[in-house]
Amino acid sequence: MVKPEGTHREQSAGAVQRNEDTSGTESLMEKVVARENMLAALRRVESNKGAPGNDEMTVEELRGYLKTNWEQIKTALLADTYKPQAVRRVEIPKPDGGVRLLGIPSVTDRLIQQALLQVLTPIFDPTFSDFSFGFRPGRSAHDAVKLAREYIEAGYDWVVDIDLAKFFDQVNHDKLMVRVWRRVKDKRVLHLIRRYLQAGVMLNGVVVATEEGTPQGGPLSPLLANIMLDDLDKLLEQRGHRFCRYADDCNIYVRSQRAGDRTMSAVRRFIEGRLGLKLNEEKSKVDRPHNRKFLGFSFFRRKGIQFRIAPKTIERFKARVREITARSNGWSMERRIRALYTYLRGWMQYFRLARTPSVYRDLDGWVLRRLRLCLWKQWKRARTRLRELRALGLPEWVCFELAYSRKRYWRISKPLNSAMPRRYWTAQGFAGLTEFYGSSVR
């Protein structure tokens, strides 16, 4: 984990005194359009893939498009006349209700944003707080939750859980651009960033202007979010607070509820006054850490402070598995098992910090029950079920009892465990959380 050197207050004081050196930023656009920078950006965009924007150009088509159009695009960027396209609006349902609005730029704009990001990151990132972890080179969510655990172990066992209401949709463009201007003096870069902020959204064939917000979905948005919230980090550092921030998810750790209430009031005034943002009053709380979630994790005491998986994380896990094992999606069993393998492996890679094997066993059992439900649905007719159950080597009376049962799919999936135990699914290529967990702790 990335650990700041020195004491917390010494490190914080040093961070606040960082100089904002703007030398060499008057001609950044030349660095943006430089061949090596653009090639690196192109490789990154191609590896990330992603959906097309409003012009419907795919990532696979981008390289060919650039061969005939790059010189024109480059000239426009250097002349400060390039006009980004409006983004394509995509609504992603949130697990706890509502939707998250994503703005998908065209692949050409994604390329230019990525090139901007590669040039701007070395300018801004060294000045960011050591307690900010989101979307930064060499830092991860695991670093953030590990530091949070250290705070709790040190006796800071009350948390001020800050949740910003629709952060990416409510960023004030003028306030954000002032913060970018502090470090960047190339007017062409400043104008281009503002044009991306104001490019608008295509809705029903009509471009709707965006007066505030930085659309999620573009490569540049995470850096802009960190620039906007850096003043909050500096405030917390000045006051000697112990905190972890990952994008717009910020937890501050204090020793008492009274201290937490004072901190919450001060942070609310700063966020709403200085930054022009809003707190989500329902989700922002002063509470014990074990009652809250942070980046999908929660905490419990057992020989020190341990990680556990937050209940809402388990709800999201089950929602995704239900999508993969939906009876009506028409997938073959082989395809379902492949999709589950990919999802479960990635999920465990992230949540491997949680030492809760019993939770993984329970979830594996639930996933296998979902698979049995799908297979039972595929067999459809009683005579097909009877034939397949006989092929599994079950006693004849058991085959008849199950094949002609009138129980609904979910209810019948439980007694089917005897016919299709875990070893049956392992032979089909299934690997569950317990297997991935076992390999991660070796």
Q: What share of the chain is helix, strand, coil (3-state, %, to 5)?
A: 55, 15, 30
Structure confidence by residue, pLDDT tens digits, 143-173: 999 999 999 999 999 999 999 988 887 888 9
> Residue 160 in contact with residue 267, Cβ under 8 Å?
yes
Handedness of CA 20, 21, 22, 25 (dihedral sign): negative
Question: What is residue 98's predicted lDDT score, i.e. its pLDDT?
Answer: 63
Q: How far apart are CA 200 and CA 396, in angstroms?
A: 66
* Residue 294 main-chain phi, psi, to 5 deg: -140, 110
pTM of the model: 0.85
Query: Mind giving me the DSSP string for 202-245?
Result: EETTEEEP-SB---BTBTTHHHHHHHHHHHHHHHHHHTT-EEEE
Considering only CA atoms, which of 74, 120, 329 is closest in space to residue 223?
120
* Contact between 325 and 336 (Cβ < 8 Å): yes
Q: Are 233 and 192 in contact (CB under 8 A)?
A: no
Q: 333-351 and 433-441 are packed helices; what angle lies between their axes, rounded to 10 degrees?
A: 40
Q: What integer pLDDT is reported at residue 2 of this predicted model?
A: 46
Tens-place pLDDT, residues 392-429? 888 998 889 899 988 888 888 888 988 899 999 999 99
The percent of residues in the chain predicted with pLDDT above 90, rounded, is 67
- Helix 187-197 × helix 59-78 angle, to 10°: 130
- What was the pLDDT predicted at 171? 87
